[in-house]
Each structure stands twice: as structure tokens, then as C-alpha cells.
Structure 1
Amino acid sequence: MALEHGSLLADVPVNLAEEVFQPLLARPGLKIERIVSNGQASPAGFWYNSAQAEWVLLVSGSAALEIEGKEGRHVMRPGDWLHLPAQCRHRVAWTDEGQPTVWLAVHYEGVGN
């Protein structure tokens, strides 16, 4: 059995024009990825709407999400996590412009999304 390992905080890209999505582990029905944002936000009118559920942990930086049907913005700081059920329309309102925002996202399928 081969071991896989790494560090969420190693080689964090800084000041890139686009967010970076780095797959860490993928199996049928499961994807774990590191997302690095440097001040990016979702384009106007754009909403994520995945067929999979997503559990996301904010590791560093800060961000705010807008969730369809919920009033206001969900501000996230290091250590905060959020579970987004499948088909939960959401968007990134803003991410920290002064430092990289590092996310750990777990996308999964299954009963009880």
C-alpha cells in the first residue's frame, strides 16, 4: 500500500489572477481538494450548484459566501467550516485581498447529502 501525504500550507500560490484548485485525493464519489484564493470572488450572477455535497474548511485567510435563500453573507475565518448540501446554490462574495485564503473542500456523493 502506497502512502500519500502532503501539506495544505506548502507552496501556497500568492497574487495569482485566478483561484487555484488542487486535487489532493479522488475516489469514486469523493474528491478532496485545496483551493487557494487571492482576493477572488465569484463573477456577478454566477452561482455554484453542484450535484455533490460539499464540506469546506477555511484554513487561512478569510472569506464570505452568499447562499441562495439565506439573508446576508456567511463570513468565514480560519477554523470555520460549512456543509453545503447537494444543489445548494452558493457563491463567493469576497476573499481576503491581503493574504492567501486556503480552503480544504470535501466533495462527496451519498445518502443524506
Structure 2
Amino acid sequence: MHNIYELPLELPNLEIFEAIASSQDVLIERIISTGQTTPKGQWYDQERDEWVILLKGEAEIAYDDDTRVKLQAGDYLMIPKHQKHRVEYTSSQPPCIWLAVHGKLAT
């Protein structure tokens, strides 16, 4: 048994990506962020849809059309494949705990 909120005793200065379950079609992962952001000028352009919920902390996602979404614990969103986006902000106190599902997802 595991607990989604349990954190390592020492958090590294890097984001942590932990696969919870995966198959050829779907990846479910926990992401722990402690202030990390997408490097300036870089965008995620993913091959699969991503549904993500922020379970703890605060974050901000930006899209290439200048739209920004501020997230607090409990907020979730669907990012369609090839929707360019980046992480502009993640809180470090408390750390962000995300649950992300990647795959061909219906909306």
C-alpha cells in the first residue's frame, strides 16, 4: 500500500516523477514539484492527452496563446495532445503533489 501524500524525508531540488501504473496506452504518475518551472522558451508538446489534478500546493500553467491557469489544491484540467504548455510556477511550501494521467482520453 502507498499514500499519495507521503513525501520523501528529503526532497531533492528536482521534480520527482513516479509512475503509479502504466500500459502501452496509459501512464498514471505522481509528480512532486518544489518550486520547479519549465525553462524559459521551452514548451511541452506531448503526443498524448494529459489530465492532471493538483492535490497539494499551488501552481500556474501557461499556454502558447498567452492564457494562464492558476491552480490550487483540488483543481484539475485536461491538456489535449499537442497543446503547447509550460509550468510557470509551483509552490515549494507546501510542495506540489500532482496526479497526472497520460493517454488517449475522452473529454
Q: Same fold (TM over 0.5)?
A: yes
1:97 paired to 2:95:
no
Which residues in structure 2 correspond to 1:1-113 (within 5 Å)? 5-12=1-8, 15-71=11-67, 73-109=68-104, 112=106
Check whether the contact 1:13–1:100 (CA below 8 A) recurs between aligned residues.
no
Which 5+ residue runs of structure 1 have no aligned equivalent? none
Residue 94 of structure 1: how far off its partner (Å): 0.6
Partner Cα separation in structure 2 for residue 14 and residue 62 of structure 1: 20
What SS does structure 2 have at the residue aligned with 1:51? Answer: coil
Amino acid at match of 1:19: E
Which 5+ residue runs of structure 2 have no aligned equivalent? none
Residue 6 of structure 1: how far off its partner (Å): 2.2
Residue by residue, what CA displacement relative to the aligned partner does 1:72-106 show, whole Å, maximum 9, x if unpaired? Answer: x2000010000000101000001003221000000
Amino acid at match of 1:87: H
Same amino acid, percent of matched pairs? 32
TM-score normalised to structure 1 length: 0.86
Amino acid at match of 2:64: E
Larger CA Rg, structure 1 vs 2 = 1
Cα RMSD (Å): 1.7
Residue by residue, what CA displacement relative to the aligned partner does 1:22-81 show, whole Å, maximum 9, x if unpaired? Answer: 00000121000000000111101110000100000000001000012243x200001000
